[in-house]
Amino acid sequence: MTVGPGPAEPTADPFTGEPVDLGPIDQGPAGEAASPAFHELVPADVLVERISGGHLFTEGPVWDARRGRLLWSDIAGDTTWSWSAASGRAVFRHPSGKANGLTFDREGRLVAAGWTSRCVWRLEADGRQTVLATHLDGVPLGTPNDIVVRSDGLIFWTDGRSGVRHPGFETRHDLQIHRRSDVVARWDPRTGETAVATGEAGRGNGLAFSPDERTLYVNDSAARNLRAFDVTSSGDLVNGRVHAERTGSATKVDRRGNIYCTGPGGIHIMDAAGAFLGRIRIPEKGSNLAWGEAGWQTLFVTSGRSVYRVRVLAQGIPVT
């Protein structure tokens, strides 16, 4: 796996060939409030801006605070991209092993859910790739999807089957489904061991911690609901329950505990108890979210062929 050069910078829709317009999206009011509390989180004149387009399928955004840039995956395009306000878009890594979810550990190293490579890997400071996990309970991983790191270094990811034979996403070296159910897995940096954190998250996809890390939220893409789990000190997920319904595939949480999920028509915002506050309309179906930029007050949204930027009033939980 090498760092650039890679595919040309995407400027046209990959299916229609039409040019992709970057910048503010003229779609009328983007904010739709269902509660007065929505206006404490999202400005009345909230603006949705397309910062990148012409991709095949964008996912896994994460803000690199040390370098002031956004990274994201184009899974089907087998490329990890970067963007900054100063430099625009660039290829960060190609091929990427069709990486999906991205995050950083507490030492600033990029950690990725390697979708087609069926592993979890880390990018060292010198550019070397270290594979952290390939098997779980003696069998190969499925297709690692989204990924988070707890403050003590414990890594959690959703591990399912949906990418094994999905056209454009499929694994190259092994089409065998070794595990018949999806799980949330964890990797312990102290022991190097991989274990099942829970097998009760349905078709687990996006996941995010509450501000105090006592709760882990996991989206069940098939059931279209958001599940909540209590997190033990050892990393087990217990007391699973449905926290909210009619959600999509991705989740992020702000510093006050409000929850942001992809859902019908855009990004749905709920309070910590799961009460719906409103939504931010996005032109394309959202696939994942990330906080970033100054004050962690920008919500980046990957949406199929594009990446969007939305500046809000809420402050996201930093990824550092």
Kindly report, residue by residue over 37-48, the tens digit of the pLDDT. 999 999 999 999
Domain boundaries, the chain: 31-311
Half-sphere exposure of 175 (CA within 13 A, CB side): 6
pLDDT at 4: 46
The residue ranges of the chain whose pLDDT is under 50 are 1-4
> Which amino acid, one-letter code, is at 223?
A
Nearest to 209 by CA among 261, 254, 161, 239: 254
Q: What is the distance between the terminal CA atoms of the chain, rounded to a whole angstrom? A: 25
* CA–CA dist 2, 133 (Å, integer): 20
Alpha carbon distance 162, 156 (integer Å): 18
Bridge partners for 110 per DSSP = 104, 123
Q: What is the pTM of this model?
A: 0.93
The CATH classification number of 31-311 equals 2.120.10.30
Q: What is the structure's pLDDT at 287?
A: 95
Residue 19 has what pLDDT? 77
3-state secondary structure of 39: helix
- pLDDT for position 3: 47
So what's the pLDDT on residue 304?
Answer: 86
